[in-house]
Copies of this chain bind each other. A is one copy, B any other.
Amino acid sequence: MEYEEKIPSCDCVSEHRDIVEKVRKEMSDDEIIYDMAELFKVFGDSTRVKILDALFVSEMCVCDLASVLEMKQSAVSHQLRILKQARLIKFRKEGKAVYYSMADEHVRKIFDQAINHLEE
C-alpha cells in the first residue's frame, strides 16, 4: 500500500501538485544544469574575465598576461589552467614561451549577452 508521498523538503500545505509535476518533467537534466553552472563558475571570477577580455585583443604569453593584469605569474598560470580545462582558450608553444588565445567565438557571444543584460 502506497502512502501519498510527502516531499520532505517542503513544509508548505498549499503546494500546487500539477505545476510541480509539469515543471519536474520539463526541466533540463541535472547533468546539463550541473555542467552549465560549472561553465558559468569559470566566468564568475574577475581575473578570468579579464584574461579572456585581454585575449580578445591579442594572443599573449603568460608573462605578458601577468604584466597586463599586474598579477603574479603563478596566479595567472593557475587561472589559465582552469580556462584551458573549460576549453575556453587554446595555446601554442614557441620555445620557452606558451602563447594563449581564445578557443572559439562562444565566449564573445556569451559576454555580449551579459553586457546586454547589464546595460539594460
Contacts and interface: CB of A to CB of B under 8 A. Distances in A.
Interface in A45-101: 45-46, 48-50, 53-54, 57-58, 60-61, 63-64, 66-73, 87-88, 97
Interface residues of A, number: 67
Given A14-B97, A67-B9, A106-B117, A37 B49 contact: yes
Main secondary structure on chain A at its contact with chain B?
Answer: helix
A36 B118 contact: yes
Identical chains in the assembly: 2
Interface of A: 7-12, 14-16, 19-20, 22-24, 26-28, 32-46, 48-50, 53-54, 57-58, 60-61, 63-64, 66-73, 87-88, 97, 104, 106-107, 109-111, 113-118, 120
